[in-house]
Amino acid sequence: YFRLQPIEVGQSVYIQVHDIRKTYPLKVDILARETVETPAGIFDCIKVEPVLESAGIFKSKGRIFLWFTDDERRMPVILKAKVLIGSITAYLKEYKPGMPVEDP
């Protein structure tokens, strides 16, 4: 759902996340436009930080940053998370473009 929202740097987008019994609001801060390199290639991206503002199984004391391609795909290409004991980084290794969707 986030990937379909119109976004601009400096704005926040609000979406809902679900765990087993509850729904929580998730604020996604749109931080910057950056060009990043991954094993899958070089991409123009939008850097975001999701911020869960209430408790639940998703509650975290760390920070998460995501980079999505700055195009109609909004494909996630990098995830960086700072957690209690260190950090986690994941990069898109490869992808195969699918067929374009035709308008109905």
Quote the pTM value.
Answer: 0.81
Domain boundaries of the chain, sorted by first residue: 2-91
Q: How confident is the model at residue 54 (pLDDT cuts 50, 70, 90)?
A: low
Q: Which two tokens stand for residue 103?
A: 């308008």
Tens of pLDDT, residues 6-45 = 889 999 998 888 877 888 888 999 999 999 999 999 999 9
Q: How confident is the model at residue 104 (pLDDT cuts 50, 70, 90)?
A: low
50 pairs with which residues across the strands?
28
28 pairs with which residues across the strands?
13, 50
Q: In sequence order, what are the residues at sequence separation of 6 or more whose Cβ sits closer than 8 angstroms to the Cβ of residue 50?
A: 26, 27, 28, 29, 64, 66
Per the CB < 8 A criterion, the answer to whether 34 and 45 are in contact is yes
Coil vs helix vs strand at 93: coil
